[in-house]
Structure 1
């Protein structure tokens, strides 16, 4: 019987209408893309497929080593070490990403070499490559991390009737074609109190009823769709509440 050589496969995470949907890709060195929102966590998947080798994951050798590297932003041919786990258990982490990157020791023995980044920063976007060594095998996989950012201006707290800017952008390099905004699942008509331009949404006179889930969806010229959700809380107008403190010149601000 012919033995099938083991390969690594990446779980494909594709963005479809604002949702991240898992799929499957089983070709070694076939790059996949994962999107994560800045400030959240990202999982760069890399697994050993049990269907592509003749023995169970639980029989993997204890001499497993994993090396994650990142391609340089200005010079893609340059590789920079992100995290290295030697078969002895010794870990080496790049100083700029310490302690935000990790892999699970228990998962390594089960063929899961995925890299977790938490929290994600905007400059984490880029191409990552893992090299896994076990027994006499050396396998690799690639994952591209895209980062989407939602920002508020002015920053928190957001107060009723004060103009608000919600901006949404991503690390994707193609030209932005369309931006759509949704509030609590309903499309936002960009007229009157709302104005949208280049991924940003202006709310001229926000009210408490504008609190809730705000979802931005960016569509690019290459048909890539990127989305993110921000939960917004808007406070009622502040009023001056006169307390009776020790000093008569001391006042307390409170909200309705």
Structure 2
């Protein structure tokens, strides 16, 4: 009796094949899904293959003659969305590939393969995952929901969220709470922007899907308290750029007073402040700037504008850099330069770069030294030129400020007496200027004297007439004397 049961079971196995266990497959909407169907290649005969979806009919089948057929909804307008690679048949792999998976593709599939007397059937459940954002592009401060939908939904599955590859815990909710675990509801803000990924785990299988969330509002700077670096005496731009589709109304810039943590009070803007109307060219760009930064201009600035019935604002911090120079040492002739910032909290490294210019104005980079302070000799010609302090953060260069060592040398000098090399030239120019002033004064005096005489032309005529008559009388008297002398000699 036992032998008969064993023989019957063996015959049944070879005729009908083995029934495989149900397989779970997760696929993201829009991607390619692979439904596995593998058998032992015991027969060399041509297989008959049929793939079907439960309650929805045939998906794809291949006759032993080699002819292939596709279901109507799987071949719209002659474009097949499913295929079963023939190159894998000799290895017993009859897996079905579904391209551009849709939510309605989710469900139970059957794979049936007949090879000679062997029949193999597999059942696969395809679960399609899709992450959606509503509204698609929310405005900063408005409600936004991020949903994770699985078709069909697996009862008892666990759901986790990641934002930009980091675990995200909704506000006021435990990481694995069963309450609305597949939906995240938050107020739209910059911290929510990026790649949202839903991770679904069920029966040892894991599926995931992602979607990008973009928030409309002020996109530059992307977050509050962004630091903007500037050197004393330089110009600086204070960014305030809205999303291109938004045109803010009544834009306002304010400088916030220090000491107010929760509700900062606005203060007075710097004198060199350049408003958006003269600084930017496009309607959504409300950036402003300072034409010449002063050390007292450091602090926090706020820009704001009205968008769709609400007011959006962004706060940024201006960090001002300067170089402090010590009094030159009389003995060593050295000076110490210190790179100072009003807020160095994000600075990780300092670097001093020596910039030299030749007679043609060509710039070249000299020595580079590390550290916040720099001590150099003012007696060495090699140290003349510009010294630039660069300060770095975690993401690279934050800013720089330049100091000209020639200006410092001219003020301090190379001699203890402190006289400048240009003193003789200055004295010579002063003397020449004094002589020129004296000459000009004498010429002006002569001109005034002649001007007073020319004011009385009649008097001048009388003076000339009297002078001429006097000269004529003197000549006549001389002639008479000569005549008398001549007569006396003749007698």
State the match for 1:210 in structure 2.
192
State the match for 1:232 in structure 2.
212
3-state secondary structure, aligned to 2:91: coil
State the match for 1:82 in structure 2.
59
Instruction: Count how many residue pairs are aligned between Structure 1 and Structure 2.
Output: 209
Gaps of 5+ in 2: 1-9, 173-178, 220-241, 248-281, 288-491
State the match for 2:421 in structure 1.
none
Q: By how many angstroms is 1:122 displaced?
A: 1.5
State the match for 1:91 in structure 2.
68
Aligned-partner Cα distance in 2 for 1:119–1:254:
39
* TM-score, L = length of structure 1: 0.65
State the match for 1:142 in structure 2.
123
Gaps of 5+ in 1: 9-26, 54-58, 73-78, 242-250
* TM-score, L = length of structure 2: 0.37
State the match for 1:21 in structure 2.
none
Aligned-partner Cα distance in 2 for 1:84–1:188:
44
Alpha-carbon contact 2:127-2:153 (below 8 Å) kept: no
Q: In angstroms, what is the RMSD of aligned CA positions?
A: 3.9
Which digits, 9 at most, give the CA deviation of each residue in 1:127-177, with x for residues without a partner? 11111122332222111111222112123x566555432111213455567
Residue 170 of structure 2 corresponds to residue 185 of structure 1: no
Alpha-carbon contact 1:215-1:227 (below 8 Å) kept: no
Residue 30 of structure 2 corresponds to residue 46 of structure 1: no
3-state secondary structure, aligned to 2:146: strand
Tell me: CA distance 1:210–1:43, structure 2 relative to 1, closer, same or farther (3 Å): same
Tell me: CA distance 1:64–1:190, structure 2 relative to 1, closer, same or farther (3 Å): same
Q: Which structure has more helix as a fraction of its residues?
A: 2
3-state secondary structure, aligned to 1:48: coil
Which of residues 41, 56, 81 is equivalent to 1:100? Answer: 81
Q: Which has the higher contact order (CA 8 A, sep 6+)?
A: 1
Alpha-carbon contact 2:129-2:209 (below 8 Å) kept: no
Tell me: CA distance 1:132–1:219, structure 2 relative to 1, closer, same or farther (3 Å): closer
Aligned-partner Cα distance in 2 for 1:31–1:151:
29
Aligned-partner Cα distance in 2 for 1:43–1:113:
10
Which digits, 9 at most, give the CA deviation of each residue in 1:35-80, with x for residues without a partner? 1122221111011236xx4xxxxx733x2221111111xxxxxx72
Aligned-partner Cα distance in 2 for 1:154–1:172:
24
Aligned-partner Cα distance in 1 for 2:114–2:197:
42
Aligned-partner Cα distance in 1 for 2:106–2:122:
17
State the match for 1:112 in structure 2.
93
Larger radius of gyration: 2
